[in-house]
Chains A and B, each alone.
Chain A
């Protein structure tokens, strides 16, 4: 099968993922256009995170493939995909407890770091300078996201919602060409959501296409012109948020009918 054209940042074709007897993804197809913020919504266990994991190489698709600017990336190990410019955040920040915020954010550039143990020892002054540069880049970014005062805080001491913003900073530091965000607003209040919003705006201002998975439909509607609705592995459809959220099947499996009081 041939790859898609080089203009398309991300193209997913016939994605199918099986875990034993469970079909976590069943024939999912979509393109992310240049500069676009593309939404993915769906009930719990729909396969949203699994889909992001397939794109970033953490899971291997059972069938189908993923192209990144026209280049086939499905099948590559995650660090290679990351080196090509695909950035992602985690839904649950349960890993990386020992890190301080700044150190963690600096991990974001590791894939392009010209680092080696030998360089650290034999080219110490050079590496030291590099380290200082990266440190100040990371600080700048933290400042932009309103997190600078937490630079030396231990990641595991921070509230969930703050950790998630730190994770976005980490992903942004890698200057991704495509960014995948997994529920960036969960655990944050509205005020903090505006900060997450700002981060996303910052990314789209740079023209970086973003895939946004989230349960906050207002938030998704504000940022995305198109959303993909997944339901138990199946693609319900792709369309504008208003159009998709009005569909009865989407209301039944995802949106529900809030008891108005």
Chain B
């Protein structure tokens, strides 16, 4: 049955081996020889993007109109600030709305120092702003050690009120109600006013910021921050000192943001408390959401969008007739602009949830893969002939019929190819195979969980005769299908009882009467996230069974279960079948599956390589997937 070509395909489709893995995995061991391995190239390579960036900036600064240059300076300052904020929000996953306050601190520090003869020499005010910002970061981080999410965000807001208040007082006391003037930035006897040179200087600062942040995020600190953002508790369990690294993130981020505030002061030559509003702080969060949280290029692209939007709008107003719509627009430009920000955020969140930059690079990657590995349904041997006729229910459709299913991931890896499966009503069907054979992908395709992700599906999936290929999980569920997945099988913050109540409007207690399920009864008020691994599995199975689906699909029902529980759950599943349910199991535990199933499929490399009754399959299965040591 397995032709030579199929074997090759099988290797290519193994999900365990994403196509780019071998090459990049070996990158430390040295690249293949050729042009790229010449020594000069290798030494130069890391600098090329920087050179290109610098060159582009110089060309831009020398050709752009003064108006565009004026805006570009602001873009660059915002980008520096956003990159600073990204350290805390994008990398360490801590929410902060303290951006405006920190920029204000840098700006006021600069305004005050720039007036003093002995402190105003070029990098001094900027450096001191950074240092003060860093110290303040330490202060903000203190609540961050205890608070999380929205509470932390509110705590950072406290700084906002405090700084604005202090700024207001300072302005009132010194009689500078409309703002503190800042003398222009000078290096030696050269003065910088908004324009070409200032843009180049800011470009240098942006480059420096990128360099610094990159150095950290490429090394241990970046890894720790990512770990903390994923799960602080798990991170500490494997040895990450979460408190220390959260402090570090806030200090670094705050220092960078304060420096951007200092540059902001020099650029605008005036500092006023009115500038640093909460809206101003939120703008930077918008920048990160739009551009892409967690990436520096995202912070830059986001800054370009957000800063230029009002100017584009103003331009637009100029082209409109000065009465009617044009007048209305110019009167309300502030609100229209903020409304547009909101709309943009909404659109991005809906269609590019990771932000513009990651979405665009992802798209580019997908396009590059397109055509490289097209599924060929024509040159596949016809399977239907080879398939034993299981169609006992003659004209009645099977509960589940999968025909010629292809599942291909965005990376180009094909998880499933040309799959045929048939699950008759009232049967227990098991799909066996090793990790990466495509079993989970099949289940996810059938249940609709793949439709929304970056995969391509092909073929037919029929639930009781109705084609559901590409349907949403909601629709397959409505069609009577329930999946107990391998991971994320319970809602961590809902209690056991809430799970059971979700599953049935009636009485949930009978399920808990089963011999080993009674443990759940003692845990009714416990959030499911705190259950043991096996208890979670039991809860998921109990909930799924109570939904009384037409087709129950379970990915690894034995996962994490004690031997006695496996036997009990097998009894429960058999009982459900006797009550009329149809069950599709995907299993690695061949012994358990062979004992339970009426019909068994064996998958390998994304294809079904054998099928039959458990008795027929026993030898085959032990040979292929149960090679004992």
A residues at B contact (CB < 8 Å): 19, 22, 41-46, 48-50, 53, 56-58, 77-79, 82-83, 88, 90-92, 94-99, 102-103, 106-108, 110-111, 113, 115-117, 120-121, 124, 127-128, 130-132, 135-136, 139, 148-153, 157-162, 170-171, 174, 183, 186-194, 197, 215, 217, 252-259, 261
Contact = CB atoms under 8 A, between A and B. Distances in A.
18 contacts: A44-B532, A90-B237, A95-B234, A96-B231, A107-B239, A110-B220, A111-B239, A115-B224, A149-B16, A160-B559, A186-B533, A189-B626, A190-B627, A197-B629, A256-B563, A256-B566, A257-B567, A258-B567
Contacts of A254: 562-564
A188 B219 CA distance: 32
A217 B591 CA distance: 14
Contact of B25 (A22, A44, A149, A183): A149
Given A77-B236, A131-B220, 20 more contacts: A44-B534, A44-B537, A44-B562, A82-B238, A95-B231, A95-B235, A110-B240, A113-B220, A116-B248, A127-B215, A127-B220, A131-B218, A131-B219, A157-B18, A183-B560, A189-B434, A189-B590, A252-B564, A254-B562, A259-B567
A92 B626 CA distance: 24
B239 A43 contact: no
B238 to A, nearest CB: 6
Contact of A117 (B221, B229, B488, B535): B221
A96 B486 contact: no
Contacts of A82: 237-239
Given A44-B532, A91-B560, A187-B556, A120 B487 contact: no
Contact of B219 (A120, A149, A153, A192): A120
B440 interface: yes
Nearest to B29: A139
A99 B565 CA distance: 33
Interface of B: 15-18, 20-22, 24-25, 28-29, 212, 215-216, 218-221, 223-224, 226-227, 229-231, 233-242, 248, 251-252, 409, 434-436, 440, 486-488, 516, 519, 522-523, 530-535, 537-538, 556, 559-568, 588-590, 595, 625-629
B629 A190 contact: yes
B216 A121 contact: yes
A148 B25 contact: yes
Contact of A190 (B218, B236, B238, B625): B625
B524 to A, nearest CB: 12
B595 to A, nearest CB: 6
B134 to A, nearest CB: 10
B560 A135 contact: no
Contacts of A49: 532-533
A14 B615 CA distance: 50
Contact of B628 (A53, A83, A135, A190): A190
Residue among B252, B560, B566, B595 having the largest count of chain A Cβ atoms under 10 Å = B560
Contact of B565 (A43, A56, A170, A197): A43
Given A88-B238, A136-B28, A44 B226 contact: no
A94 B241 CA distance: 20
Given A110-B223, A120-B215, A150-B16, A90 B28 contact: no
Given A110-B223, A186-B560, A83 B239 contact: yes
Nearest to A186: B560
Given A148-B25, A189-B625, A110 B238 contact: yes
A50 B533 CA distance: 11
A254 B562 CA distance: 6
Residue among B24, B221, B242, B561 having the largest count of chain A Cβ atoms under 10 Å = B221
A258 B215 CA distance: 57
A174 B16 contact: no
A57 B234 CA distance: 11
Residue among B239, B436, B533, B537 having the largest count of chain A Cβ atoms under 10 Å = B239
Contacts of A113: 220
B589 to A, nearest CB: 8
Given A44-B561, A49-B533, A117-B248, A149 B22 contact: yes
Residue among A41, A120, A135, A170 having the largest count of chain B Cβ atoms under 10 Å = A120
A143 B229 CA distance: 28
A181 to B, nearest CB: 13
A79 B236 contact: yes
Residue among A83, A124, A174, A261 having the largest count of chain B Cβ atoms under 10 Å = A124
Contacts of B590: 189
B231 A259 contact: no
Nearest to A150: B21
Residue among A45, A95, A97, A132 having the largest count of chain B Cβ atoms under 10 Å = A45
A77 B235 CA distance: 12
A256 B435 contact: no
B487 A92 contact: yes
Given A160-B486, A183-B560, A256-B568, A88 B436 contact: no
A45 B538 CA distance: 11
Contact of A115 (B220, B538, B566): B220
Given A79-B242, A120-B219, A157-B15, A188 B588 contact: yes
Contacts of B561: 44, 215
- The 10 closest A-B CB pairs, nearest first, are A44-B534, A111-B239, A256-B564, A82-B239, A115-B220, A151-B25, A95-B231, A159-B435, A95-B234, A194-B629
Contact of A58 (B237, B240, B519, B523): B237
A45 B20 CA distance: 41
A161 B435 contact: yes
Contact of A120 (B220, B434, B533, B627): B220
B21 A151 contact: yes
B629 A193 contact: yes
A189 B25 contact: no
B435 A261 contact: no
Contact of B595 (A99, A108, A261): A261
B588 A187 contact: yes
A95 B18 CA distance: 21
Contact of B226 (A78, A99, A132, A148): A99
Contact of B223 (A106, A162, A171): A106
A192 B564 contact: no
Nearest to B433: A189
B516 to A, nearest CB: 8
Contacts of B563: 215, 217, 254-256, 258
B221 A174 contact: no
A21 B475 CA distance: 41
A88 B237 CA distance: 8
Contacts of A253: 564
Contact of A103 (B18, B223, B435): B223
Contacts of A57: 237
Nearest to B556: A187
A171 B226 CA distance: 18
Contacts of B238: 82, 88, 107-108, 110-111, 170-171, 174
